[in-house]
Amino acid sequence: MNGDSPIISINGVSKQFPGGVQALEGVDLEINEGEFFALLGPSGCGKTTLLRILAGFEIPTTGDVFIDGANMAAVVPNRRPVNMVFQSYAVFPHMTVAENVAYGLKVSGTERRTIPDRVQRALDLVQLGDYGRRKPGQLSGGQAQRVALARALVKEPRVLLLDEPLSALDAKLRETMQMELVRLQDTVGITFVIVTHDQNEALSMADRVAVMDEGRVLQVADPGELYEFPRDRFVAEFIGKMNLFEGTNVGWADGTLALLVNGLGRIELPCAEPTTHDVGIAVRPEKMLLFEQRPDAAYLAFEAEVEKVAYYGSESRVFLATDRGLALEVSIRNHSRATAGEEIAGRRWVSWLPEDTLILPD
Amino acid sequence: MKTNRQAPGPLDYGRRLWLRLTLWLSFVFLYAPIAVLVIYSFNDSRRNIVWRGFTLKYYERAWNNESLIQAFANSITIAFFSTVLSVLLGMMTAVLLWRFRFPAKAPFEGTVSLPIIIPEICMGVAMMAFFSRIGWPADLPWPLNLGAITIAHISFSFPFVAMVVRARLARFNRELEEAARDLGAGEWEAFRDVLLPYMKPGLVAGALLAFTLSLDDFVITFFTAGPDTVTFPVKVYSMVRFSVTPEVNAASTVLLVITLMLTTIAVLIQTRGREE
C-alpha cells in the first residue's frame, strides 16, 4: 500500500514565534506517499505548529518543506496540495452541509456542473449522504467532524492534515471514528498526517508515528517498534506503561552487561554492544509475570510484596514493592474466569525474560 | 416566630406594594411626556392645553409644510450616507482592532470610542470651528451641501458600529477563516465568504444604530447646519420657538415611530445573531 517515495520532506525546520518561544528545533522528517502518519506528543511539543507549517499557516523560521517535490516556501495556504481537518472542525455555520463541502470546489474554480455530484460522493463517503441540506447547527459533534472530512477530501488533496480530529468526541465515538478514519484512508489512498496527544490513537491508526517533545522529533517508527524499542526515556515513558530503573554499570563482557539496580540488586542482561556508562533499564508491566515460587533460571526474578491491585476488567494492575523499596507495576491479563477471582496478595516473584528488558542509554 | 415572608424572587416585583409603586413611578416619569406628545398630536386645538377631540389634520398640515418636508428629506439623505460610510469605516476599524497588533493600539482603541464620550456640545462647536477653518464651501447644490453635516454624523456614528462589530468578532473562531483559506480561498474571498457573513448581524445592528443616531441628532447638527441645510430635528426646534402647535407634535411622533422601529429591528437582529 505504501509507496516509498516521500510526499512530504521536512528539512531542518525550526520555528521561533515572536516573543521568543521556540516551537520547533531542527525537525527532519519524511512522510511517504499513501502513509497514515501520526505526530504524537504532549501539548506544547510543537506538533500542531508542524502541521500548520505543512498547511501554510505558519512559516518556518529556518528550513524547507517540500510537498510532492515542490518547495512550499513561497506557496500560500490556498495553493497547497493539502487540506486540513481542524480541531474545532470549523464548519461554516451560515452554509448548509452541502454548501460547506462545495465551498472548496467553488472557490477554486471547479466546473460548476460537476460540483453537486462530487459533493454527493464526498458526503456518501463519510456516510452523510442525506445530510446535505442540514445546517451545521443541527449536527452532532461526530457529524460535524464528518462534514469537515468530506469538505477536505472532496478537493482530492495529495495530503490530508488532521489536527487532533477526535479530541472533542466522547470515548466510544472516538474509537469508532479511529477505525473509520483508517477505513477512509484505505479507500481514498491519500496520505494522512494526523496530530494527536493520545498514544492509543497514534498506535492503533498510524502506519508510522513521530514522537515529539519540546520542538524535536525524538523517534520515528512504526507502532510496534515504537512500543517495543523506544529509543529514549521520554518515548519509553510517554508510550504505554513502563517500569523504569537506573542501573549502575559494573562491567560488560562477551555480550552480557552486568548492572547494579537500586532495589533489585545485580542483574545481567544480553547487550550486543560494549557499554561502559550507566544505563536506564525498562520493562513493560505486561511482560512481567508473578510467581508464588521462584521461577527457573530463564527468568530474571525478584521477590516483592503486593501493595495494591487495581482492577480494570480486562486486566489487573498489581503494584508491588521490593524489600529494598523499589516500586514495580505488573499487568495481569484477565484471560479466564477460572483465575479471575484469585486474590493477589502477599509475596510474589516478579519475573521477566532478560530479552524483554530494554536498555536505554542516557 | 414563624415567618412566611420570603425574599422576593426576580419575577415577584408585583407582589410588594412599594416595588409596584417604584415600577409605575419610573414608567410615568420616563414615558408620560412622550405619551402626552403623542396624544396631543391628535388634539383638535391650536394649543396643547385642552383636549378638544381627535383629528389627523395636524399630520396633514405637517405633510403639506414644504420646509418641514424638505428638512425631513435632508435628514433622511444625511442619515443614509452617514450610515453607509459609518458601517464601512466602523467595520474596517473593528477588523483592524481585532486582527492586528500594532504600537499604541490601546490609545488608538480609546480614541476611536472618544466621540461616544465627548459632550455633544463640544463636538458641535469643534465641528463648526473645523469646517469654517478649512473653508468648507457653503453654497454647494443639494445634496452636496449636506456634506459637512454628513461628515460630522459619521464621526460620532462609526464608533458605535465599530464597537458592535468588534464585540461580535471577539467570539469569531479563527479556524473558520483558516478553513476557507485551506480550501482554496484567497484572502479577499475568505473575508467575503466567511468573515463578512459572520459580521453581518453586527453590521446590520450597527447600521440601524448609526441611522437613528443621525436622524435624531440635534446638537452637533445645529452647529454644522447652514440656512439651506436644516434637518428635521433642527426644523422642529425652530417651529417650537414660534409656537408649540400640534403640528410639531405630529412631526415628532413620526420621528419617534421611525426611531423606535429601527431600534427594535436592531435589537432583534442582535439577539438573533447571539443565538446562532
Name the minimum distance, in Å, from the CA of A285 to any CA of chain B: 41
Q: What is the pLDDT of residue A131?
A: 93
Q: Which of A288, A300, A286, A271 is nearest to A361 (CA)?
A: A271
pLDDT range class, residue B41, cuts 50, 70, 90? confident
Q: Residue B189: inside a domain, yes or no?
A: yes
Q: Residue B7: inside a domain, yes or no?
A: no
pLDDT single digits (tens) A54-69: 999 999 999 999 999 9
- Using the Cβ of A320 and the Cβ atoms of chain B, whether some distance falls under 8 Å is answered with no
pLDDT range class, residue B263, cuts 50, 70, 90? confident
Query: Is residue B156 located within the same domain as residue B224?
Result: yes
Q: Residue B112: inside a domain, yes or no?
A: yes
Instruction: State which residues form the domain around B30.
Output: 17-58
Residue A257 clears pLDDT 80, i.e. is over it: yes
- Report the phi/psi class of residue A178: left, alpha or beta, with left for phi > 0 and alpha for psi in -120 to 50: alpha
- Using the Cβ of A272 and the Cβ atoms of chain B, whether some distance falls under 8 Å is answered with no
Q: Which helix (H) or strand (E) holds A205?
A: helix A199-205
Q: What is the pLDDT of residue A2?
A: 45
Query: Is residue B99 located within the same domain as residue B221?
Result: yes
| CB A53 within 8 Å of CB B158 | no
Q: Residue B24: inside a domain, yes or no?
A: yes
C-alpha A123: how far from chain center? 28
User: Which position has the grid cell 463578512?
Assistant: B196
Query: Is residue B32 located within the same domain as residue B53?
Result: yes
* Number of helices followed by number of strands (H, E) in chain B: 13, 0
Of all residues in chain A, the one with the smallest CA distance to B177 is A90
Query: Is residue B99 located within the same domain as residue B168?
Result: yes
Q: Which of B112, B86, B114, B85 is nearest to B97 (CA)?
A: B112
**CATH architecture label of A6-238:** 3-Layer(aba) Sandwich (3.40)
Q: Which positions in chain B touch A94 (Cβ < 8 Å)? A: 197-198
Q: What is the pLDDT of residue A216?
A: 94
Name the minimum distance, in Å, from the CA of A61 to any CA of chain B: 20
* Optimal mutation site among A59, A76, A78, interface B, most CBs of chain B within 10 A: A78
Q: Mean of the pLDDT values across residues A9-23?
A: 92
Q: What is the pLDDT of residue A331?
A: 94
Residue B5 clears pLDDT 80, i.e. is over it: no
Which residue, of B33, B58, B83, is where some domain finishes? B58
d(CA B115, CA B123): 8
Q: Which positions in chain A touch B185 (Cβ < 8 Å)? A: 78, 103, 107
pLDDT range class, residue A1, cuts 50, 70, 90? very low
For a pLDDT cut of 70, what percent of chain B falls above it? 93
Nearest residue, CB atoms, B178 vs list A86, A104, A137: A86
- Using the Cβ of B276 and the Cβ atoms of chain A, whether some distance falls under 8 Å is answered with yes
Nearest residue, CB atoms, B184 vs list A86, A94, A104: A104
Alpha-carbon separation of residue A273 from A109, A255, A302, A359, B164 (angstroms): 60, 7, 26, 11, 70
How high is the mean pLDDT of chain A? 91
Q: Which positions in chain B touch A19 (Cβ < 8 Å)? A: none
Name the minimum distance, in Å, from the CA of A96 to any CA of chain B: 13
pLDDT range class, residue B62, cuts 50, 70, 90? confident
The DSSP code for A69 is T
User: Which position has the grid cell 436592531?
Assistant: B266
Q: What is the pLDDT of residue B145?
A: 84
Q: Which positions in chain B touch A152 (Cβ < 8 Å)? A: 182-183
Q: Which positions in chain A touch B197 (Cβ < 8 Å)? A: 92, 94
Give chain B's domain count. Answer: 2
The Cβ of residue A262 has, within 10 Å, a number of other Cβ atoms equal to 13
- Using the Cβ of B175 and the Cβ atoms of chain A, whether some distance falls under 8 Å is answered with yes
User: Which position has the grid cell 458641535?
Assistant: B124
Q: What is the pLDDT of residue B266?
A: 76
- Using the Cβ of B274 and the Cβ atoms of chain A, whether some distance falls under 8 Å is answered with no
pLDDT range class, residue B4, cuts 50, 70, 90? low
d(CA B139, CA B130): 17
Residue B2 clears pLDDT 70, i.e. is over it: no
For a pLDDT cut of 90, what percent of chain B falls above it? 37
Backbone phi, psi, residue B110, to 5° = -65, -45
Residue B180 clears pLDDT 80, i.e. is over it: yes
- Using the Cβ of A78 and the Cβ atoms of chain B, whether some distance falls under 8 Å is answered with yes
* Optimal mutation site among A107, A119, A159, interface B, most CBs of chain B within 10 A: A107
Query: Is residue B163 located within the same domain as residue B36?
Result: no
- Using the Cβ of A83 and the Cβ atoms of chain B, whether some distance falls under 8 Å is answered with yes
Q: Which positions in chain A touch B183 (Cβ < 8 Å)? A: 78, 83, 103-104, 107-108, 151-152, 155
User: Which position has the grid cell 403639506?
Assistant: B64
B162: exposed, middle or buried (C-beta count within 10 Å: 0-12, 13-18, 19+)? buried
- Using the Cβ of A47 and the Cβ atoms of chain B, whether some distance falls under 8 Å is answered with no
* Optimal mutation site among B102, B168, B175, B182, interface A, most CBs of chain A within 10 A: B182
More confident residue, A105 or B252: A105
How high is the mean pLDDT of chain B? 87
Nearest residue, CB atoms, A90 vs list B173, B185, B276: B173
Query: Is residue B111 located within the same domain as residue B44?
Result: no
For a pLDDT cut of 90, what percent of chain A falls above it? 67
* Optimal mutation site among A52, A57, A85, A92, interface B, most CBs of chain B within 10 A: A92
d(CA A35, CA A46): 21
pLDDT range class, residue B58, cuts 50, 70, 90? confident
CATH of the domain at B229: 1.10.3720.10
Nearest residue, CB atoms, A84 vs list B173, B182, B194: B182
More confident residue, B21 or B9: B21
**A327-331, A333-337, B141-145, B177-181: range with lowest mean pLDDT:** B141-145
Give me the residue spans of the domains in chain A.
Answer: 6-238, 243-361
Of all residues in chain A, the one with the smallest CA distance to B172 is A90
Q: What is the pLDDT of residue B14?
A: 67
Q: Mean of the pLDDT values across residues A188-205?
A: 93
User: Which amino acid would we find at residue A244?
Assistant: L
- Using the Cβ of A152 and the Cβ atoms of chain B, whether some distance falls under 8 Å is answered with yes
Q: What is the pLDDT of residue B167?
A: 92
d(CA A126, CA A146): 6
- Using the Cβ of B172 and the Cβ atoms of chain A, whether some distance falls under 8 Å is answered with no
Q: Residue B6: inside a domain, yes or no?
A: no
Assigned CATH for A243-361: 2.40.50.140
Query: Is residue B31 located within the same domain as residue B135?
Result: no
Which residue, of B38, B58, B78, is where some domain finishes? B58
Q: Which positions in chain B touch A137 (Cβ < 8 Å)? A: 276
Which residue, of B58, B87, B111, is where some domain finishes? B58
Q: What is the pLDDT of residue B184?
A: 93
- Using the Cβ of B181 and the Cβ atoms of chain A, whether some distance falls under 8 Å is answered with yes
- Using the Cβ of B128 and the Cβ atoms of chain A, whether some distance falls under 8 Å is answered with no
- Using the Cβ of A137 and the Cβ atoms of chain B, whether some distance falls under 8 Å is answered with yes
Q: Mean of the pLDDT values across residues B79-83?
A: 95
d(CA A94, CA B198): 8
Q: Which positions in chain B touch A108 (Cβ < 8 Å)? A: 183-184
Residue A25 clears pLDDT 50, i.e. is over it: yes
d(CA B67, CA B69): 5
pLDDT single digits (tens) A337-362: 887 777 888 899 999 998 899 988 76
* Optimal mutation site among A75, A84, A145, interface B, most CBs of chain B within 10 A: A84
Of all residues in chain B, the one with the smallest CA distance to A85 is B179
**A135-149, A208-222, A345-359, B1-15: range with lowest mean pLDDT:** B1-15
Which positions 185-214 of B are in contact with A (Cβ < 8 Å)? Answer: 185-186, 189, 193-194, 197-198
Query: Is residue B190 located within the same domain as residue B246?
Result: yes
User: Which amino acid would we find at residue B173?
Assistant: N
Determine the length of chain B: 276
| CB B183 within 8 Å of CB B193 | no
Report the complex ipTM. 0.84
- Using the Cβ of A275 and the Cβ atoms of chain B, whether some distance falls under 8 Å is answered with no
